[in-house]
Chain A
């Protein structure tokens, strides 16, 4: 049996929040750490909260790193969320961790040398699309999404940058390449706008 959506379970996040949000927009998603199910799924969500180092260890141990790479290569729509986006890049400053390398770039830590900036960047912030993408359609100026993170993705190529947000400076809030799309914010916790993005992911054919 093919699951329509598999949420990758790598001991990292509040996966059920993502599952509940999918249910709210009409999709039954399965949480699994079985690489075979990931390979068989029609589309994959790769969420994350936690640290890059332990997440990568967990992915390698279970073989999910290879399964995820294959899912992306096979052209399946894949959605990375927060840490799930960060570890799609080549390298993370968090615990100096080599990551999956699906998209050229690195994950960096906010410098936060201004004392009024709290760590982590936690709360609602405006997401500004800089390039059209099916998953970002409908986002209007001033629309905010929920963020919780101390590290941010820095894609090497302009072409992979889809949206910006501003904290100590501008950073990538959404990164994409072909059938892979990553959000630094949490669509599952971002109210109606976040749910709309998830609904768009469920309908997405992986083209952009």
Chain B
């Protein structure tokens, strides 16, 4: 049967791996190509690169990073950050990304999802959603609201409704990133992930909040996610990719265990 996936997300700024803003120490944590290669060799199932600056002048740096990683890493590679058009998506695909993540630009102009799906295939379009908890209201009956621009701009769009709309427009996969949980290491927002995973027929990736191996297990069982995304947990060497996979496997979660 299909395995659950462990995905590592690397935030890239100016060609280097960026530290989370929540950490005081500002030194960069290394070369994304080296890190990617090491995770790949340690059994990672999929890799995501996020260009956290994503201004047009830095685009070419990101393309270079993607190209360098794609030459060395032979698992699915997903890239996002500032994708606004089919042309952006195509450039990243040519550089070596399988899947393209769209986020803020798709909230502002949902047709972007359909355009990308038409150009590169549904299965390669990932809708990445930043969602925060809010009191249920007419605009956000699920009690979750979509935010954009790295969580700074609330959109008064319901999180569950946006997930369904993204699926309808042709997204092949959803990343559910819980802004409240992001960086806390207190665990994924399980209620949100489970609600969306039960409502759509496309794979759902849980994101934001992972701090302990148990959190991954919760996301993949209680949270009904098809994949769990980790970042700082593995970047700082607290846990290795293979260690996390061994733990999940021993807890009865179906994982790919030979590589």
Binding site for B on A (CB under 8 A): 14, 16-17, 20-21, 23-24, 49-50, 112, 115, 118-126, 140, 142-144, 146-150, 166-167, 188-195
Contacts and interface: CB of A to CB of B under 8 A. Distances in A.
Nearest to B40: A191
B257 A122 contact: no
A189 B74 CA distance: 5
Interface in B84-138: 93-94, 96, 98, 121-124
20 contacts: A17-B96, A20-B74, A24-B74, A49-B123, A115-B201, A118-B226, A120-B122, A120-B172, A122-B172, A123-B3, A123-B226, A124-B2, A124-B3, A124-B45, A126-B1, A142-B258, A144-B256, A167-B1, A190-B74, A192-B259
B164 to A, nearest CB: 15
Contacts of B256: 124, 144
A47 to B, nearest CB: 12
A14 B45 CA distance: 19
Given A118-B226, A123-B203, A20 B70 contact: yes
B76 interface: yes
Given A118-B203, A118-B226, 9 more contacts: A14-B98, A21-B74, A119-B201, A119-B202, A124-B45, A144-B258, A146-B75, A147-B2, A189-B74
B185 interface: no
Contact of B74 (A50, A118, A195): A195
Nearest to A166: B1
Contact of A143 (B4, B70, B75, B258): B258
Given A121-B2, A191-B259, A194-B74, A17 B203 contact: no
Given A17-B96, A142-B257, A191-B75, A123 B1 contact: no
A125 B93 contact: no
Interface residues of B, number: 32
A49 B99 CA distance: 12
Contacts of B227: 123
Contacts of B172: 120, 122
Given A49-B124, A115-B201, A188-B74, A20 B5 contact: no
Given A115-B201, A120-B123, A16 B96 contact: yes
Contact of B121 (A49, A146, A191): A49
B11 interface: no
B189 interface: no
A161 B1 CA distance: 19
Contacts of B70: 16-17, 20
B159 to A, nearest CB: 19
Counting chain B CB atoms within 10 Å of each CB, the highest count among A21, A50, A147, A189 belongs to A189
A125 B74 contact: no
A178 B12 CA distance: 47
Contacts of B123: 49, 120, 122, 148-150
A146 B76 contact: yes
A120 B170 CA distance: 12
Counting chain B CB atoms within 10 Å of each CB, the highest count among A17, A190, A195 belongs to A17
A112 B45 CA distance: 24
A16 B94 contact: yes
Contacts of B2: 121, 123-125, 147, 167
Contact of B203 (A14, A23, A122): A122
B71 interface: yes
B145 interface: no
Contacts of A14: 93, 98
A195 B259 CA distance: 11
Contacts of B51: none
